[in-house]
Copies of this chain bind each other. A is one copy, B any other.
Amino acid sequence: MFRALAAASVALPPRAAGSVRTMASHQLLVPPPEALQKPLSVPRRLLLGPGPSNLAPRIVAAGGQQMIGHMHQEMYQIMDEIKLGIQYVFQTKNRLTLAISGSGHSAMEAAVVNTLEPGDSFVVGANGIWGLRAVEMGERVGARVHPLIKDPGGYYTMQEVEEALAKYKPVMLFLTHGESSSGLLQPLDGYGELCHRYNCLLLVDTVASLGGTPIYMDQQEIDILYSGSQKVLNAPPGTSLISFSDKARNKVYNRKTKPYSYYLDMKYLANFWACGDGEDEPRMYHHTTPIIGLFTLRESLAILVEQGLESSWRRHHEVTLYLQGRLQELGLQLFIKDPALRLPTVTTVAVPAGYDWRDIVNYIMDHFGIEITGGMGPSVGKVLRIGLLGCNATRENVDLVVKALKEALQHCPRNRL
């Protein structure tokens, strides 16, 4: 139909006369680009970096569904199922639990922009790129931000946190559970309780760790928890998960100023997701949600429900331990020394002496179609990163990437630096 019409005359029908000028004075000055006259070409890739990961087949199928409306009853049902799924994977009973229409960064921004007001004190564990981003977001909304800077690989002890809470009396503390830029797993047990003793909210980023290692939002007294769709969940990027405890919810609902963002305003979002204050209020249109993205998110949560959280945690631990053993057999040094602090989803190895990390990453991509990555932010040049996320966390994939890495180390130039 498109083709037949395109071949016909392109003269526009006569416009009605009246108050509107015609477009007769304009013409198409930007021609149709040639690059878009070729079909979309998507190469096959095995994504063993820190994310995004490959999609599980059931999620690919959900992505190929036709649309329904964002305000259809069936869509509300899917949204309700997503809320239940997030409550399960976060292990929380929080009512204010929903998906954000954007990447993990938009969930971080939703947490910061809804909770903090200008002048609020905000302490940020900044031991990698995610903390640095939280610092930047806090500064943009006018908070008094106190970054606790650490080198990549460092984590925050209870004592360090307590000192900062006592010194800065923050409204909120930010910690990254899975610091994917360094491969660090931040301990969380006890930190929520500690924060609450100092009347401080605990905000945790679990983008790179959710589903791969235990987290218990309620039992660990985490006030705001968010994650992304494109890591262990194996869904496309573009949606993210967030939940607020009652304490956090009260701060959001009782703030004196409106948050700077309309798109991420939690009161509007809570209404649209039917988890706000007025439970019987009708859902009001806020923005058009990423419908197909929510289909895929729903399926990713359903897979984790079917599999069971503990089973998923165990599999990631086991397969990542296997990877770590194989890497050490190659003579590589794991970047995180303490095994208990190693993230069971993204493994970091020190860039082997004499190599340019880019050569290794490019070799593996060019010869095997496998993505592994270098560092990010403060860890650039220090590490190589291998992610085993969701359906990609298999021994077969470990064997494949270790073979690729071994070959890369044999063929990449050494001591050129």
Please report A residues at the B interface, Cβ cutoff 8 Å.
1-3, 5-6, 8, 10-13, 15-21, 23, 25-26, 28-33, 35-37, 40-45, 47, 49, 51-55, 60-70, 72, 74, 78, 80-81, 84-85, 87-88, 90-93, 101-106, 109, 113, 133, 136-137, 139-141, 157, 185, 187, 189-190, 214, 216, 218-220, 228, 230, 236-238, 258-263, 285-293, 295-296, 298-299, 301-303, 305-311, 313-315, 317-318, 321, 338-341, 371, 376, 391, 394
In the assembled complex, the Cα of A263 lies from the Cα of B19 at a distance in Å of 41
- Given A10-B310, A63-B292, A140-B260, output 8 extra A-B contacts at Cβ < 8 Å: A5-B315, A28-B310, A30-B218, A36-B88, A55-B66, A69-B371, A109-B261, A237-B291
Asked if B21 and A189 sit within 8 Å, CB to CB, the answer is yes
Whole-angstrom distance between the Cβ of A384 and the nearest chain B Cβ: 15
Asked if A69 and B45 sit within 8 Å, CB to CB, the answer is yes
Asked if B36 and A288 sit within 8 Å, CB to CB, the answer is no
Within 8 Å CB of A90, what residues of B?
30
Given A23-B214, A104-B288, A287-B106, check contact A70 B84 (CB 8 Å): no
Contact of A140 among B157, B261, B299, B318 (CB under 8 A): B261
In the assembled complex, the Cα of A74 lies from the Cα of B20 at a distance in Å of 44
Given A28-B309, A339-B16, check contact A60 B66 (CB 8 Å): yes
Whole-angstrom distance between the Cβ of A389 and the nearest chain B Cβ: 11
Asked if B238 and A340 sit within 8 Å, CB to CB, the answer is no
Whole-angstrom distance between the Cβ of A212 and the nearest chain B Cβ: 12
Contact of A260 among B68, B104, B260 (CB under 8 A): B260
Asked if B338 and A16 sit within 8 Å, CB to CB, the answer is yes
Asked if B307 and A36 sit within 8 Å, CB to CB, the answer is no
Within 8 Å CB of A371, what residues of B?
69, 72
In the assembled complex, the Cα of A62 lies from the Cα of B287 at a distance in Å of 24
Within 8 Å CB of A288, what residues of B?
51-52, 103-105, 228, 230, 237
What are 5 contact pairs spanning A and B, CB under 8 A?
Answer: A11-B310, A35-B84, A52-B67, A140-B259, A237-B291
In the assembled complex, the Cα of A61 lies from the Cα of B256 at a distance in Å of 47
Chain B residue nearest to A394 (CB atoms) is: B1
Asked if B87 and A33 sit within 8 Å, CB to CB, the answer is yes
Asked if A260 and B262 sit within 8 Å, CB to CB, the answer is no
